[in-house]
């Protein structure tokens, strides 16, 4: 479930929640894409495991949901809105900024 070529990667939150999502979905994020760039020599790229110390699991979960949402609708014409809970919206804004999504 890891390694530079595996199809899935693991995102780990500050409080230790792990989210396993497809690599191409994770790479919607510019930051994660660079992190996992197989041509670079970063340890994340080698292990397929990204520890994102900035975010609690609650936020990272929503981020992962968004990544999937984005990947699912990337070619759609009329993309439905994704529900963002108001209490998380600022956290998510920060996360979006950090992860460049």
Partner 1 sequence: MAAMRARHKIRAPKRGVSKKTEDFDSIWTDLSSFLTGINTKEYASLEYEDIYRLAYKIVLMMRAPDLYENVKQLEQNWLQTSVQAIVTDSISASLIRAEKSTDAQDQSSERREEGEKFLTALKVAWEDYQFGMGMVADVLLYMDRMVRSHDHPPIYVVCMSLFRDHILRSSIRPSSNLTVLDILESTILFMIQLERSGHLIERPLIRHCIQMLEGLYETLTEEESSKLYLTVFEPAFLNTSKEFYRAEGQRLLEIGDATTFCRLTTQRISEEQERCRFMLSTATEPKVLDLLDSELIRANIEEVVNLEGTGVRHMLDHHQLDGLRNVYVLNRRVDNKKSALTKAVQKRIVEMGKEVNASSILLPQAPAPAEKDDESEKKPEKAKDKEKPQNQQTVAAIRWVDDVLALKKKFDDIRANSFSSDQGIQASIGASFAEFINLNPRNSEYLSLFFDENLKKGIKGKTESEVDALLDNGITLLRYIKDKDLFESYYKKHLSRRLLMKRSASMDAERQMISKMKMEVGNQFTQRLESMFKDMTISEDLTANYKEYVARNGDPDQKPVDLEVNVLTSTMWPMEIMSNVKEGTVRLPCIFPREIDALKQSFERFYLDKHSGRKLSWQANMGTGDIRATFIRPNGKVQRYELNVSTHALIILLLFNDVPDGESLTFDDIKNRTLIPDHDLIRNLQSLAVAPKTRVLKKNPMSKDVKPTDAFSFNHEFHSPFVKVRIGVVSGGANKVENKDQRKDTEKKMNDERNGSIEAAIVRIMKQRKKLTHSQLMTETLSQLSARFVPDVNMIKRRIESLIDREYLERVSEEPPTYGYVA
Partner 2 sequence: MDNEIPLPPPRRIRHRSPAKSTNPSTAVSSFYRAGRLSRFDDRSSQPSSDPALFSSDDIPASGLENYHATVSGAGRKRRYRGTWWGEQVADPKRKRAEFREKRNFDSGVWMGSDEPGSESLLTSEDGSNWGEDLRKTVLDPRPTGLAAPPSMDSGSVLLNPAAAFQRTEESEAQRFARVVVGQCLEKGQEHIDLGGFQLGSLPPGLLQPLKHLTKLPSFTEPPATENAFTSLQPFLRIYLPNNSLSALPNDVFELNNLRVLSLRSNKFTEIPPAIGRLTDLEVLNLSVNRLTYLPWELLKLIQQGKLNHVISRPNPFHPIEEAQIETWHCKPEPDSEPEEEPEPEPQPTTNSTLPKMQLPLRIHLQLTPPPSLQLGPDTEPNPVWAPILVATGPTNTMDMDGKPVQPTPYNRPSETTSKISNAPSLRELALRAVSKLPYLDQTTDQELADFPPLIVPLLQRAREVRLAGGQTCSVCGREYVLPRTEWMEWWDISPHESGVQLRRCNGMLLRPLPFRRFGCSLSCVPSV
Residues in contact with partner 2 by the rule CB under 8 A: 27-28, 30, 33, 37, 39-40, 63, 66, 69-79, 81-82, 84-86, 88-90, 92-97, 99-101
Among 25, 50, 60, 63, which residue interacts with partner 1 (rule: CB under 8 A)?
50
- Please give the C-alpha separations between residue 58 and each of 36, 42, 74, 77, in angstroms, as whole numbers: 23, 26, 24, 30
Give whichever of 5 and 78 is closer to partner 1, judged by the CB atom: 5
The residues in 13-32 that bind partner 1, with binding defined as CB under 8 A, are: 14, 30-31
Give whichever of 40 and 79 is closer to partner 1, judged by the CB atom: 40
* Cα distance between residue 70 and residue 67, in whole Å: 5
- Please give the C-alpha separations between residue 22 and each of 10, 26, 55, 77, in angstroms, as whole numbers: 9, 6, 20, 23
Among 20, 51, 58, 68, which residue interacts with partner 1 (rule: CB under 8 A)?
51
Give phi and psi for 59, each to the nearest 5: -75, -45
Give whichever of 1 and 93 is closer to partner 2, judged by the CB atom: 93
Given a contact cutoff of 8 angstroms between Cβ atoms, the answer to whether 64 and 20 are in contact is no
């Amino acid at each position: 479930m890891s390694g530079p070529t595996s199809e899935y990667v693991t995102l780990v939150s500050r409080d230790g929640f792990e989210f396993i999502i497809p690599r191409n979905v994770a790479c919607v994020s510019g930051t994660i894409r660079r992190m996992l760039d197989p041509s670079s020599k970063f340890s994340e790229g080698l292990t397929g495991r990204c520890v994102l110390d900035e975010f609690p699991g609650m936020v990272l979960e929503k981020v992962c949901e968004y990544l999937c949402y984005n990947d699912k609708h990337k070619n759609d014409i009329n993309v439905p809105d994704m529900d963002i809970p108001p209490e998380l919206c600022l956290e998510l804004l920060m996360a979006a900024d950090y992860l460049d999504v």
